[in-house]
Structure 1
Amino acid sequence: MERAHLVYSTFPDAETALRVGEDLVRARLAACVNVIPGMRSVYAWKGAVERGEEVVAILKTRHGLGQALAEALKARHPYETPIVLHLDVAEADPGTLAWILAETGQGEG
């Protein structure tokens, strides 16, 4: 059986994350996108240490859609090099998994 899968990303602001998230949910590549504002980041970029404010996005999907979701995310993302981290889910509540599968095109009927 297909497993649940999470994709972690960051965005410059909540409105951008919500817009991209809505596109991905409408495309049925993700069942849900959680947008968490208020993150402050320190990161290395092109030889310098930078600071910035970002928002976190956690995208819930099924394992088989992980790569397709990542490609669609990168195509819509405003960053030159978007953060796309795949997080394997060891186990999911059966109801949660059924919902993710149904909302991403599997498990109907």
Structure 2
Amino acid sequence: MQQTTHSICWCKMVKMVILIFNRPYDHFMYQVVLCNCPDNNVAQAIATQLVREKLAACVNIMPGITSVYSWQEKIETDTEVMLLIKTTQNQFDRLAALINNIHPYDVPEIVSLNIQQGDNAYLNWITESLK
């Protein structure tokens, strides 16, 4: 049976799709989420709850962040505590909802950044920690 150009292209496309979906790690599914808190008590409460609920594998609490921002038409400067939250993209909506429920700010900072690259062992640890 003679193969047509169409069937050869189709086979190559199927092989590419299989390779893409069978990769051990899709680095874009991993995220670091930033969230600033007014003090260490709030930061600790949010971090603990996120890890307890398996919405974050790890949360770094970084005190002493100085934030300069516009709020209600005034320039504000505050000392805050930054959370550096390691999670996955599919946890983001639940993670954001939990932060919004606990956080005292009217509009808390909840910003996710996709992890472009990471050590496979570390990324695997994130995956396993969220099960």
TM-score normalised by L of structure 1 = 0.91
C-alpha separation in 2, matches of 1:103 and 1:72: 18
What residue is the counterpart of 2:106 in the other structure? 80
CA displacement 1:12-53 (0-9 Å, x = unmatched): 011210111101100000001101001111110011111111
C-alpha separation in 1, matches of 2:85 and 2:100: 13
Partner residue of 1:59 out of 77, 80, 85: 85
Q: What code does the residue aligned with 2:71 have?
A: W
CA contact (8 A) 1:10 1:55 kept: yes
- The answer to whether the aligner puts 1:12 opposite 2:12 as a matched pair is no
Q: Gaps (5+ residues) in structure 1? A: none
- The answer to whether the aligner puts 1:43 opposite 2:69 as a matched pair is yes
- The answer to whether the aligner puts 1:23 opposite 2:49 as a matched pair is yes
Q: CA RMSD in A?
A: 1.1
- The answer to whether the aligner puts 1:33 opposite 2:59 as a matched pair is yes
The structure carrying a bigger strand percent of its residues is 1
TM-score normalised by L of structure 2 = 0.76
- The answer to whether the aligner puts 1:95 opposite 2:83 as a matched pair is no
Q: 1:22 is paired with a residue of what secondary structure?
A: helix
Seq. identity, %: 33
CA displacement 1:40-86 (0-9 Å, x = unmatched): 11110011111111011011001211122111111111111100111
C-alpha separation in 1, matches of 2:55 and 2:42: 17
- Matched residue count: 105
C-alpha separation in 2, matches of 1:75 and 1:92: 31
The structure carrying a bigger helix percent of its residues is 2
**Relative contact order (C-alpha < 8 Å, sep 6+): which is higher?**
1
